[in-house]
Amino acid sequence: MAQVHSRQHIHHNHTFGQQAADTIANSMGSWPFIIVQSIIVGGWIILNVVGFIHHWDVYPFILLNLLFSTQAAYAAPIIMMSQNRQAQKDHLRDDHEAAEVEVLFQINKQQLEILHLLRQHMGVEAPLDEANERDLNQELGQLEAEAKELEGRLGSSAK
C-alpha cells in the first residue's frame, strides 16, 4: 500500500517556549505592534516635552531610551528563536518534498518500463496501425520527458 505523507509534524510547536517565541515574533513584526508602539512613544514625547504631567523622565528621554534598549535586548533573541524554528520547518519540508519527488520519479520510471514492455508485447503479438503507433510514441515521448525533468529536479535538489 502506498505510504501517506503528512506535513502536520512540520508545523507542530513542541514546547511552550517555542510557541511563545513564534507568537511574540509574529506580533512584533506586525502593523498593530508598530502603530501601538508609535502611539505610546509619541505620547511619551509629547507629555515629556510639554510637561503636562510632571516630568518623570528628568533627563530628556533617557528612560525612553532605556526602555527601547531593554525591549531590543529581549526581542532579538526571541526573534532569532522563531527564525531558527522556521529554518527547522523549512528543512523538514524540503526533506519531505525531496522524498516525494524521489517516489514520483520511481513511479514514472516504472510506468515507462511498463509502457516499454507493453510496446514490445504489442509489436510481437499484433502490429500497430500507424495512428496507434504515433499516439503511443507521443505518449512515450511525453513520459520520457517528464521522467528526465523529474530526474533533473532530483539531481539539482541534491546539490
Classify residue 131: in a domain, yes or no: yes
Q: What does the pLDDT read at residue 159?
A: 52
Q: What is the pTM of this model?
A: 0.48
Please report which confidence band the pLDDT of residue 70 belongs to, taking 50, 70 and 90 as the band edges. very high
**Number of C-beta neighbours around residue 13 at 10 A:** 13
**Owning domain of residue 153:** 15-157
Q: Give per-residue pLDDT as tens, 110-124.
A: 888 777 777 776 765
pLDDT at 19 > cutoff 70: yes
Is 6 part of any domain? no
Query: Under a CB-based contact definition with an 8 Å cutoff, are residues 113 and 71 in contact?
Result: no
CA distances (Å), origin 129, targets 1, 62, 118, 134: 37, 90, 15, 9
> Tens digit of pLDDT for each residue in 24-61?
877 888 899 999 999 999 988 888 888 766 777 777 78
With contact defined as beta carbons under 8 Å apart, do 82 and 17 qualify? no
Separation between Cα atoms, residue 149 and residue 10, nearest integer Å: 27
Residue 80 placed within a domain: yes
**Does residue 155 sit in helix, strand or coil?**
helix
Q: How many domains is the chain built from? A: 1
Residue 105 lies in a domain: yes
Residue 113 lies in a domain: yes
Enter the C-alpha cell of residue 74.
529581549
> pLDDT grade, residue 2 (50/70/90)?
very low
Residue 25 neighbours by CB distance under 10 Å: 19
